[in-house]
Amino acid sequence: MAQKILEQIVSIAGNTPGSGSLSKATVDLTIGVRYLVLWLIGTVKRSGTSSTAPVLGDIFDLTSTCKVKLNGKTQREFTIAELDAIQRSYGAAYGINVTGGTDTGGAPKAGDTVTYRVPIYFYQDWRPGYSARDLFAWPTAWPDGSQLKTFQVEVPLAAKDNTADNVTTLHAFSVYAEYDNVLGSMKDGKPMFNIEKWARLIVPYSAAGNLPLTNLDRRDFLEQFTFFAQTADPISHVVVKMNGRVYRDAPKALLDESIRKRAMVIADQPSYLGNIAAADRLDVVFEDTDNPLDSLPLFSAASFEVTPTLASASASNKALTLLQLRYGAPD
C-alpha cells in the first residue's frame, strides 16, 4: 500500500439550540485519490439538570440513513447504529470509538464532553490477506485519465435539544478522510472498478411464521446479508435458495455459531451506540476466503429467495431492515 494521508475535509457546528430541525451534512470528497476510510467525528455535551448521558443519537440522527454516493447514485445506505453493528462484528477495533466518557468502562454519563469517532471502511483492514485489504479501497481516478464526477457522503445530524432539563451545549461535527494516491486498475485498456455496496431494504410483515422474499436484487456477488428485527419479533430461522438449490437452512443459533467460527463477533451493541442487541439481528455470510468472487453469484441466478421465520408478530412497528453487502460495479 502507498503512503496514507489523513486530513480533515469539513468541520461544521450543529444546529441552533432549540431549532428542532434536522441538519443533513453533504460532504463532497476530492476526486483523484483512492479512499480507504472516512471518519465522522461528533462531539456532544449535555448539561442543565438532565441526568441523561450524551449518546450517539445526540449528534447523529439514528432514525435517518447515511448515504455514500458516486456520480450522484447511492452505493451504500445505513443508519449510524447499523454501520457500527456490522463493522463491529469484524472486531471491536472496527466499531465506533468513544472518548470522554467517565462512567464504568468509559461509558458516557451526564455532564461529560464525549467524542464519537465513526469509521466508514472502504478498504478492509480485518482481512488476513494484505492484498485483499487493498482490493476493497475505492479509487476515483485511473491511469487512462478517467475519473469519477462526484464522490459524496450524506450524514444526518441530530438537532440540538434545549428543553428545560436536557440542554445540549456542545454539538460539533467534522469529517476526516484517509486516502492514498494509488490509481485504479486497468484491464484490456479499460478502467476496472468494483466496490462493496450496501443495499438497504425495509421489509414489512403482518404475521408470525415464514416471510418469503423473492424479488431481491440479483446483481453482483452477495457477500453477506444482515436482518435487523424488532426486539419483540425475533427471527428464529432462515432459508436461502438460489436456482432452487438450498444454500442455507438453519436456525439463528447455528448461524451465529458458524459466524463465530469465522472470527466474527456478534454481540450486544452498547446502549449509548444504538443498542442493537445480538438477539435482534441475523447474519448470513457467503464469503470468508479473502476473495469476493467466492461470494454467492446472484448475477447468474434465475431465481433467488430468502425466507426468514418470525417467532412472533407483536411489535407495533412490523418491519424488518435488510442490509445486503454486495460486490460489483457501482450502481
- Among 140, 174, 191, identify where a domain stops: 191
Q: Which stretch of DSSP H or E encloses residue 259?
A: helix 252-260
More confident residue, 163 or 20: 163
Which set of grid coordinates corresponds to residue 301?
441466478
Strands 23-28 and 113-121, by their bridges, are unpaired
Identify the residue whose cell numbers are 483523484: 32
The verdict on 119 and 81 lying in the same domain is yes
pLDDT in tens, 210-245: 999 999 999 999 999 999 999 999 999 999 999 999
The verdict on 161 and 210 lying in the same domain is no
- The reported pTM is 0.93
Q: How many CA atoms lie within 13 A of 138 on its CB side?
A: 28
The verdict on 99 and 224 lying in the same domain is no
Q: Which stretch of DSSP H or E encloses residue 250?
A: strand 245-251
Q: For the chain, what is the mean pLDDT?
A: 89
The verdict on 185 and 215 lying in the same domain is no
Which set of grid coordinates corresponds to residue 324?
445486503
pLDDT at 160: 65
The verdict on 182 and 297 lying in the same domain is no
Report which DSSP code applies to 65.
-
The verdict on 219 and 319 lying in the same domain is yes
pLDDT in tens, 94-109: 999 999 999 888 889 8
Mean pLDDT of 324-328: 97
pLDDT in tens, 153-195: 999 888 766 555 556 667 788 999 999 999 999 999 999 999 9
The verdict on 90 and 234 lying in the same domain is no
The verdict on 130 and 278 lying in the same domain is no
The verdict on 68 and 204 lying in the same domain is no
Domain range for 106? 5-191
Identify the residue whose cell numbers are 476526486: 31
How many Å apart are CA 9 and CA 11, to the nearest integer? 7
Distinct helix (H) and strand (E) counts, the chain: 3, 22
The verdict on 241 and 275 lying in the same domain is yes
- Among 191, 211, 231, identify where a domain stops: 191
pLDDT in tens, 187-217: 999 999 999 999 999 999 999 999 999 999 9
CATH number, domain with residue 234: 2.60.120.730
pLDDT at 166: 58
Instruction: Identify the three-state secondary structure at position 150.
Output: coil
Q: Is the pLDDT of residue 327 over 70?
A: yes
The verdict on 156 and 287 lying in the same domain is no
Please state the domain count of the chain.
2
Percent of the chain surpassing pLDDT 70: 92
Percent of the chain surpassing pLDDT 90: 64
More confident residue, 327 or 135: 327
How many Å apart are CA 57 and CA 79, to the nearest integer? 11
pLDDT in tens, 36-89: 999 999 888 877 666 778 888 888 888 899 999 999 999 999 999 999 999 999
Q: Which stretch of DSSP H or E encloses residue 163?
A: strand 162-163
The verdict on 121 and 227 lying in the same domain is no
For residue 300, what are the CA distances in angstroms to 67, 199, 288? 28, 19, 20
Q: Which amino acid is at 233?
A: D
Q: Which phi and psi (to 5°) does residue 105 adopt?
A: 70, 15
How many Å apart are CA 223 and CA 174, to the nearest integer? 31
- Among 191, 217, 233, identify where a domain stops: 191
pLDDT at 17: 41
How many Å apart are CA 235 and CA 229, to the nearest integer? 7
